[in-house]
Chain A
């Protein structure tokens, strides 16, 4: 029994077996695989033919209840659905890749982030070498230090004191007595 049904040609063999053909120039082989996968739980499907010219789909009912024509019609609808998915997937491929790459990049801490974290954790305000101080501040500190050092210098021994005082005394001329 040959039945023209819109774009599909249904070749009904018997109640439990149905054959129809798909134009691979309209529907890609990948879309046909995915559509067939969608119906695997309802019917047995076998593909044959030439992927460049015509693909023959054979459907066999699992329950033996018939209704294969209805399943075949749904098969065509699902084919369109898969074809659309394929096209949307193709057009959005770059955006999708970008989103995934960004998500992965953010999920994995990289070396730069670790170094930045280390730097942030360090107490940079300590400034042990005094690099952050201005010249004036450094000079003022030096002045204070020198004053302190003079004040806090340990008291000179008596002999040294004598020497120092001697130096200050005017020299006596040897010839005068």
Chain B
């Protein structure tokens, strides 16, 4: 299981949810708001993308923000 904590003041939750929808074929993804953070949890990750899924996810979200 892998997690990323996105800062709520910088990242928009709608974009994170859209990204989670795009990545749903690669992993089971849950998005939760905890305090000032948005916690994204990856479970049952496709072994082919296990090393890059977190970074690619963060880049995708940033791409939607820009």
Q: Which residues of A are in contact with B by a Cβ distance under 8 Å?
A: 29, 33-34, 36-37, 40, 44-51, 55, 60
Contacts and interface: CB of A to CB of B under 8 A. Distances in A.
Q: Is the interface of A mostly helix, strand, loop or mixed?
A: strand
Contacts of B11: 47
6 contacts: A33-B66, A36-B65, A36-B66, A40-B59, A44-B58, A51-B10
Q: Is the interface of B mostly helix, strand, loop or mixed?
A: helix
A109 B65 CA distance: 37
B62 to A, nearest CB: 5
A34 B62 CA distance: 9
A37 to B, nearest CB: 3
B62 A33 contact: yes
Interface residues of B, number: 12
Interface of B: 7, 9-11, 55-56, 58-59, 62-63, 65-66
Contact of B63 (A37, A48, A50): A37
Contact of B62 (A40, A51, A55): A40
A78 to B, nearest CB: 12
A121 B9 CA distance: 62
A55 B62 CA distance: 14
Contacts of A55: 10
Contacts of A46: 55, 58, 62
B66 A37 contact: yes
A47 B62 contact: yes
B10 A29 contact: yes
